[in-house]
Amino acid sequence: MKIKLELYGASRELSEKNFIEFHLDEKSSIKDLKKKILKYVDSKFSGNDNFKKIIESSSFCSEDNNIITDNYLIKKDQKIGIIPPIGGG
């Protein structure tokens, strides 16, 4: 399946575009997608720990703008957003 990961906030630094495309096996979960993103960070940014922390602490949302958990099954090609925590006060 083809997943278009839409980048928001600090995750925008992961690509010159506002998205990254990943290919996943059928019935993959958000947890599987996170593993793919971490491999991407390892290969493109030499394992940048700050980027890894962003991914691990981010929330993800579905095409219909619902927050989804690590166990959410991705059953088709779709857009998924990554929403990093926002600092500040």
In the chain, where the domains are located: 17-83
Instruction: State residue 76's pLDDT score.
Output: 93
The mean per-residue pLDDT over the stretch 76-83 comes to 96
Q: Which residues pair with 23 in a beta bridge?
A: 2
Nearest partner of 81 among 16, 24, 12, 26, judged by Cα:
12
> Check: CATH 3.30.750 for 17-83?
no
Read off the pLDDT of residues 9-49 as tens digits, 9 standing for 90 and up.
Answer: 999 999 999 999 999 999 899 999 999 999 999 999 998 99
Nearby residues of 89 by Cβ (< 8 Å), 6 or more positions away: none
Question: Rounded distance, CA 60 to CA 70, Å?
Answer: 8
Instruction: State residue 11's pLDDT score.
Output: 94
pTM for the whole structure: 0.91
Read off the pLDDT of residues 48-65 as tens digits, 9 standing for 90 and up.
Answer: 999 999 999 999 999 999
